[in-house]
C-alpha cells in the first residue's frame, strides 16, 4: 500500500492538535516543532504491507491539552501496533479501541489539567484481506472509486444526530449553534462503542481518504473530489494540494489540517 500524508498547523494556530498514525509512525515532537516554526505543509509518503493500520486524530480540550490528547491516542496505537494487526489482537469488533479508551481515560485522570481532554479518531485497519474503517468523533473517512467520492464515516456530532432524526433540515443545520458538539470520542467515561465499517469489498485501484475536520469543514465534497480525480497530479501532489487549499480557504482563521490518502 502506498500511503501519503499531509499536515499543516494552520495560518494563525500556535499549536498542532492533529496527529496521525501510519504503521508505527506518527507526528513526533521534532515534526510538530517543524510545523510550528515553518507553517508549511509537511508531506510524506509511506509504503505498508497488507496488514496495516492508519488513523487521524484531532485533539479536544484546547492548546496543550488537545495536542497531548491526539499524541497520546496515536502513540498508544503505535506502541501496540504488532498486537493490533496480528491474530492475537485483531478482531472484527475492533476491541483494541476499547482498550485504547480505557488507557486514555486512566492517563488523563492523573493530572488536573488533562482530566477533561479528549480526541477524535478515524482510521482504517487491514488484516489478512479483511479491511475495516472505524470512527469516533468528527474526523472523516472517504472512499474514491470510479470517479466518485463517498463519505463513509458519519460525524458523531449533535448536528448530524438531529439531521438523522429529521429534527433539522440541511439549511437549518448550517445555523445550528451546537452542531459541532461531539458525543462520542476517545476519553469518554462510559463504554466506547466505535462506528465500524466493513470495507472488504472495496475495489482495487480505489483511494481511501482520512482527514481531520480542518479539511472537511474548509472544503466541500465537490472540492475534495476535484483534486482527487485529477489526472495530472500524482497522489503526493494531491495530498499537498488538498491541505494547501483547505488552509487557504479559511483566510487565516482555520483549524489544523491533516490528510491521509491510501492507494489500494
Q: Which residues pair with 20 in a beta bridge?
A: 56
Q: Which residues pair with 56 in a beta bridge?
A: 20, 122
Upper half-sphere CA count for residue 177 (Cβ side, 13 Å): 0
Closest listed residue to residue 23, CA positions, set 58, 50, 59 = 50
Task: Quote the pLDDT of residue 204.
Answer: 86
Cα 163–Cα 168–Cα 173 angle in degrees, nearest 5: 85
> Is the C-alpha dihedral spanning 76, 16, 25, 5 positive or negative?
positive
Report pTM. Answer: 0.95
Q: C-alpha grid cell for residue 254?
A: 482555520
Quick: pLDDT tens for 165-186: 999 898 888 888 888 999 999 9
> Is the C-alpha dihedral spanning 126, 123, 13, 189 positive or negative?
negative
Q: What radius of gyration, in Å, describes the C-alpha atoms of the chain?
A: 17
Quick: pLDDT tens for 103-144: 999 999 998 888 889 999 999 999 988 999 999 999 999 999
Average pLDDT over residues 39-59: 95
Amino acid at each position: 500500500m502506498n500511503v501519503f500524508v499531509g499536515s499543516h498547523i494552520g495560518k494563525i494556530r500556535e499549536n498542532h492538535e492533529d496527529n496521525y498514525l501510519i504503521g508505527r509512525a506518527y507526528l513526533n515532537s521534532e515534526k510538530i516543532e517543524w510545523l510550528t516554526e515553518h507553517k508549511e505543509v509537511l508531506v510524506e509518503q509511506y509504503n505498508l504491507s497488507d496488514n496495516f493500520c492508519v488513523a487521524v486524530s484531532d485533539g479536544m480540550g484546547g492548546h496543550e491539552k488537545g495536542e497531548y490528547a491526539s499524541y497520546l491516542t496515536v502513540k498508544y496505537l503505535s506502541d501496540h501496533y504488532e498486537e493490533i494487526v496480528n491474530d492475537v489482537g485483531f478482531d472484527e469488533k475492533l476491541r483494541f479501541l476499547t482498550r485504547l479508551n480505557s488507557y486514555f481515560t486512566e492517563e488523563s485522570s492523573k493530572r488536573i489539567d488533562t482530566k477533561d481532554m479528549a480526541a477524535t479518531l478515524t482510521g482504517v485497519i487491514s488484516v489478512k484481506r479483511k479491511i475495516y474503517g472505524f470512527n469516533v468523533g468528527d474526523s472523516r473517512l472517504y472512499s474514491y472509486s470510479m470517479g466518485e467520492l463517498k463519505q463513509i464515516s458519519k460525524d458523531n456530532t449533535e448536528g448530524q444526530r438531529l439531521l438523522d432524526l429529521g429534527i433539522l433540515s440541511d439549511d437549518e443545520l448550517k445555523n445550528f449553534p451546537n452542531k459541532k458538539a461531539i458525543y462520542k470520542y476517545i476519553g469518554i467515561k462510559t463504554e466506547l462503542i466505535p462506528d465500524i465499517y466493513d470495507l472488504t469489498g472495496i475495489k482495487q485501484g480505489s483511494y481511501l481518504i482520512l482527514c481531520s475536520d480542518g479539511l472537511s469543514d474548509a472544503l466541500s465534497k465537490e472540492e475534495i473530489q476535484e483534486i482527487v480525480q485529477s489526472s495530472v497530479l500524482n497522489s503526493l501532489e494531491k495530498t499537498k494540494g488538498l491541505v494547501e487549499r483547505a488552509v487557504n480557504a479559511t483566510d487565516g482563521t482555520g483549524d489544523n489540517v491533516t490528510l491521509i490518502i491510501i492507494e489500494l
